[in-house]
Amino acid sequence: MTDPISNLGRSAAQLNSSADKVKNQKADASASVAVDKAPIQTSSDEFILSDTAEAALSDAQFDAAKVARIKQAILEGNYPLDAKRIAENFESLERMIGGK
């Protein structure tokens, strides 16, 4: 399944194919622009997933029933939360963001 926003689950070949289509459309559009304008320089980055990452994305699954049970437990106040552990995780996250 492909996430339409982030394109998760699409192979590198599919992503490159889409990028080439967009690049060709831009080239066609720039060909019709007046000659007195300087051409715009563009660079292209390529992102290639490893075979392992692609396999993991293609087989990505989650237990929707388990997620629903956890959500319900949280709403009912029956889900155990450890305030100290939560604070420690926020502290380490803040250190990463702040660079300290």
Sorted by sequence, the CB contacts under 8 Å of residue 9 that are 6+ apart come out as 1, 2, 3, 57, 58, 60
The runs of H, that is alpha helices, within 1-100 are: 12-31, 51-58, 64-76, 83-98
Write down the pLDDT at residue 69. 95
Give the pLDDT band of residue 67 (cuts 50, 70, 90): very high
3-state SS class at 35 = coil
Predicted TM-score (pTM) of the model is: 0.31
62 or 4, higher pLDDT: 62
